[in-house]
Chain A
Amino acid sequence: MTDQKPLLSVRDIKVYFNLDEGTVKSVDGVSFDAYEGQVLGIVGESGCGKSVTMKSILRIVEPPGKIMEGQVLLSKRDHPDEYLDLTSMNEKGKEIRAVRGGEIALIPQEPMAAFSPVHTIGNQIIEAIMLHCDVNKKEAREICIQSLKSVGMSMPEKRVDSYSWQLSGGLRQRAIIAMAIAGNPRLLIADEPTTAIDVTTQAQILKLLKDLQRERGMSILFITHDLGVIAQMAQYVVVMYLGRVMEKGPVDSIFHDPKHPYTQALLRSIPSAQKTTKIKLPTISGSIPHPFNKPKGCPFHPRCAYAIKGKCNVNLPSEYIVGDQQYVSCFRYEKSEVNIR
C-alpha cells in the first residue's frame, strides 16, 4: 500500500474560528491520507474537530470558521498522479461544486434533517443526479430507482415518490446513502451515520456501507465516536483529540498495540460486552477542556499520566513513526522512533 498514491491527502490543515471571545482552534494541524478502496476511520470525542475536518475537505466550514493553513489534495479521476487542491478553490465556485457530490459525497449525521420535507425523496435525488451527470429527467429517475434498489430499499418504484417523513429512520438513512452514491463518487464521507439509530438497524446500515464499498471500490471516510463501529468498519484509524491527531495507524495496531497514552486510556475506559462486569473501569481523569482555554503544549497533557513537566506542557510534539504505518504524536516516542522505511 505504501507505493500507492493516495486518493485524498489532507496536509497540515488548520481551521480557526475567530469569535468575539477569542479564537477557537478547532482543527490545528491535521494530516492524513485516504487510499482508494479503503475505509479510513476518524475517531474522537465531541469537540475533537472530526466534523470540522470533514467540513474543511468539502469546503463547507461555516463562517466565522476559516481554513488558515494547509492543503486538501484530491487526485484527478482521469490522471491519478495529478492533484487538485481543494483549499485553493473558490468556496462557491464551479470547481468545488463539481467535487461535492460528484467526487466526494457526504452522508450527514441526522437523517431527519437531511431531506426537505416538502419534496419527495425522488425529486431530491434526481436533482442531485442531474447536477452531476449529463442525463435528462427520465434517465435520472431511472438512475435514482437503481440507486434506491442498490441500498436495499424494497419497492423502489413506489418509494421514489414518497416524502422523507413517511419513511422510518433506517429507510431514511438508506435514502440518504442512495442520494450520496447516485453521483458515483470516489470518496464517501460518512459523518456519524449510525449514531441516531438503533443497534439492529445500525448493523444493517454498516453492512450496506461495507458491501457498497466493496462493489464500487470507493473509499469511505468514516467519522464516529464509537470505537466498536470503528473496529468493525475501518482498515486505517486516525485518533483525534482537541483538534490534533494523537495517533494514526492500521486498525489492528490501534486496538492491539496502541502507543499514545490517550488511545490507551480511551480503549481501557470503554465498557465492553466482553469484559468482566462489576469492576471499576479505569478512567481518564478530568474532562475535555473548553476550546477557549486549550492547554499549551500537547493538548492531552493535563489528563495524561505520563506527562513530562517542562516538556509536554510547553512544546507540541511532532509525529513519530512507531510501527508499520503507525504514527504517534507524543514525546515518549521521541527517541524510540522506529525506522521502517
Chain B
Amino acid sequence: MSDITLNPKNIPAERLLHVSHLKKYFPITSGIFKKHVGDIKAVDDLNLYINEGETLGLVGESGCGKTTAARCILRAYEPTEGEILFRNKKQEYVDLAHMSDKDLRPLRTEMQMIFQDPFGSLNPRMNIFDIVSEPMLVNGIRNRKEREERVVDLLKKVGLRPEYMVRYPHSFSGGQRQRIGIARALALQPRLVVADEPVSALDVSVQAQVLNLLMELMEDMGLTYLFVAHDLSVVRHICDRVTVMYVGKIVETAPTEELYYNPRHPYTEALMAAVPIADPRLQQDRKGLPGEVPSPAKPPSGCYFHPRCSYCEDRCKTEVPELREISPNHWTACHRAEVLSLEGLKT
C-alpha cells in the first residue's frame, strides 16, 4: 500500500470513512463582473481515513483548513474535487462528495457535528427539549411522547437532569451548554461525530468533564470521532491517531504516541516544541518558528512549509512533496523525512 488512494473494492473492512484527494477552493472575485482572479485553496488534496470506533485528531493552526475539511466531510460545504467514501449502515461504501442533497438526507442521521461555540450554537428562543428533539422531528419521529422519552434518555446520558428540558439556553453555563450540544448531536444515534473544537471555549475545570463525557459516550454508543482541535494536549488525551495540517495540506499522519515522540515532519517538530508544558522544571528552549503562516490564496512554491523550515534544501523550494507512508501507518509529506532526525516531545 504505497498510495493512500484506494478504489472502493480494496478498502480495508474497518474503514468507516475514507477521504481521498479532497479539495475545496473558494474563488476570489474582483470588479463588478465578479471576474475570477484566483482561489483560496482552503483544503488542497487531503487524504485521510478513519477506522470504525477510532478517534482521529485533526490539528493545525488557525486558517490551515481544518474546519473547512471537517465541513466538507459532512457535506456542509460542496467539495471542489475528490472522494469521500463513507460506509453506511448497510455496510456499503457511498461517495458523499458526489451525492445529491436528496440522496444525502438519509445519511445525514449517521453523521453529526458538535460545534465549538456553546453560546452561538444553541437557539436562545428554543427550550432544551425543542433543541434536542429537533433532529428527530426533522427525521420523521413525530410522536411527542416518544421524543420526550428519548430526550430524557439523552440528557441523562450527557449528565444533565431531565427536568432541565423546559429551560432555555441562557440559564446554563458553558459546560452545560456544550453537553446540550452533544445531546443534540447524539439524538439520531449517529456513527460518525465530527467535533469541531468542542472544548476550546470551556474553562479548564469544565474541559476535563466534557472530555471524559466524550470518551464515555464513545464506548457506550460505539461512536467514531473526527476531533478537530488546535490544543495538542487535548488531542493527545483523546485521539488514537493524529493528522497535522498546514495551509490546506496534510503534512503528517501517525498514531498519537508515534507522532508526539517521533515526528517525521519539521512542522510537527516545531508544533511540539511550541506547546507550553505545565511543569516549571521542564524549561523549554524556545527556538521558535520564524515567520508566519502563509496565506492559502498565495501559498509558497514547492513545499508550503519551506520558507519557515530550518532543514530546507533546494529541492524543497520547487518540488511539492507527496504524502507517503514512511513506516507502517506513519505518513509524512517531507522530502527529507528519511535523513532528518527530529525531536519529539520531551519526557
Which residues of A are at the interface with B, using a C-beta cutoff of 8 A? 45-46, 168, 170-171, 198-204, 206-207, 225-232, 251-252, 255-256, 265-267, 269-275, 277-278, 280-284, 287-288, 290
Contacts and interface: CB of A to CB of B under 8 A. Distances in A.
A203 B234 contact: no
A226 B289 CA distance: 21
A203 B286 contact: yes
B288 A277 contact: no
Given A228-B275, A232-B276, A270-B233, A199 B61 contact: yes
B292 A171 contact: yes
Contacts of B277: 228, 231-232, 272-274
Contacts of A255: 278-281
Contacts of B289: 200, 203-204
Given A270-B208, A281-B211, A283-B208, A231 B232 contact: no
Contacts of B162: none
B151 interface: no
B205 interface: yes
Given A274-B345, A277-B236, A227 B278 contact: yes
B273 to A, nearest CB: 7
B237 A281 contact: yes
Given A271-B207, A278-B238, 11 more contacts: A198-B62, A206-B276, A206-B286, A229-B276, A230-B278, A255-B278, A270-B204, A273-B345, A274-B279, A281-B211, A283-B212
Given A203-B289, A287-B173, A287-B176, A231 B276 contact: yes
A220 to B, nearest CB: 16
A168 B288 CA distance: 17
B337 interface: no
A200 B205 contact: no
Contact of A198 (B212, B293, B345): B293
Interface string B196-219: 000000011111110110010000
10 cross-chain pairs, A with B, having the tightest CB-CB distances, nearest first: A228-B276, A271-B237, A203-B274, A198-B61, A269-B208, A45-B203, A281-B208, A284-B205, A199-B274, A251-B280
Interface of B: 61-62, 173, 175-176, 203-209, 211-212, 215, 230, 232-234, 236-239, 256-257, 260, 270-281, 283-284, 286, 288-289, 292-293, 345, 347
B102 to A, nearest CB: 40
Q: Which one of B204, B286, B292 has the highest number of Cβ atoms from chain A below 10 Å of its Cβ?
A: B204
A228 B233 contact: yes
Contacts of B204: 45, 225, 227, 266, 269-270
A48 to B, nearest CB: 9
28 contacts: A46-B203, A171-B292, A198-B293, A200-B271, A201-B61, A203-B276, A203-B288, A207-B288, A231-B277, A232-B277, A252-B280, A255-B280, A256-B280, A266-B205, A269-B205, A269-B207, A271-B211, A271-B236, A272-B236, A274-B277, A275-B237, A278-B237, A281-B208, A281-B211, A281-B212, A283-B209, A287-B173, A287-B175
B292 A170 contact: yes
Contacts of B232: 199, 273
Nearest to A230: B278
Contacts of A199: 61, 230, 232, 271, 274-275
Contacts, number: 143
B232 to A, nearest CB: 6
A64 to B, nearest CB: 22
Nearest to A234: B280
Given A225-B204, A282-B208, A273 B230 contact: no
A230 B279 CA distance: 9
A166 B42 CA distance: 21
Nearest to A268: B208
B270 A200 contact: yes
Q: Which one of B206, B257, B272, B279 has the highest number of Cβ atoms from chain A below 10 Å of its Cβ?
A: B279
Contacts of A168: 292
B40 to A, nearest CB: 16
Contacts of B61: 198-201
A231 B280 CA distance: 5
A214 to B, nearest CB: 13
Contacts of A252: 280-281
B215 A231 contact: no
Q: Which one of B271, B280, B288, B293 has the highest number of Cβ atoms from chain A below 10 Å of its Cβ?
A: B280
Contacts of A269: 204-205, 207-208
A228 B311 CA distance: 28
A330 B338 CA distance: 55
Given A198-B62, A273-B345, A45 B205 contact: yes
Contacts of A272: 233, 236, 277-278
A252 B283 CA distance: 11
A284 B239 CA distance: 22
A256 B274 contact: no
Nearest to B59: A199
A336 B3 CA distance: 65
A232 B274 CA distance: 11
Contacts of A204: 288-289
B315 to A, nearest CB: 24
A231 B284 CA distance: 10
A201 B292 contact: yes
Contacts of A171: 292
Given A231-B280, A269-B205, A274-B347, A203 B273 contact: yes
A287 B212 CA distance: 15
A288 B203 contact: yes
Contacts of A45: 203-205
A287 B204 CA distance: 11
